[in-house]
Amino acid sequence: MKNLKNFGVQEMNAKEIRETDGGVLGWDDALAIIGAAIYIYNEGGDFVDGFSSAYASARYGGNGGSW
């Protein structure tokens, strides 16, 4: 590997690494997770029915669906 100092590249500190790699969950991530949980809770029956139908179709053969 070439010497990166010749290109003016500096090593990142811990805060910069966390920000670049994502670090801990932020407010926007937490809100997205909470929103998804509320949606699944409210639409849980439809979610389970759709998942069960897709699983059965994939495992036991389709019923002429688009897959």
Q: Examine residue 30 and state whether it is found in any structural domain, yes or no.
A: yes
Q: Examine residue 47 and state whether it is found in any structural domain, yes or no.
A: yes
CA dist list (Å): 45 to 37, 52, 55, 67: 13, 11, 15, 22
Q: Examine residue 8 and state whether it is found in any structural domain, yes or no.
A: no
Q: Examine residue 45 and state whether it is found in any structural domain, yes or no.
A: yes
| Amino acid, res. 8 | G
pLDDT on residue 63? 58
Per-residue pLDDT of the chain (67 residues; tens, 9 = 90+): 567 677 778 888 888 877 776 656 778 888 999 998 998 888 877 878 888 888 888 888 765 555 4
What range does the domain containing 44 cover? 23-60
Q: Examine residue 54 and state whether it is found in any structural domain, yes or no.
A: yes
Count of CA atoms in the C-beta half-sphere (13 A) of 8: 0
Domains identified in the chain, total number: 1
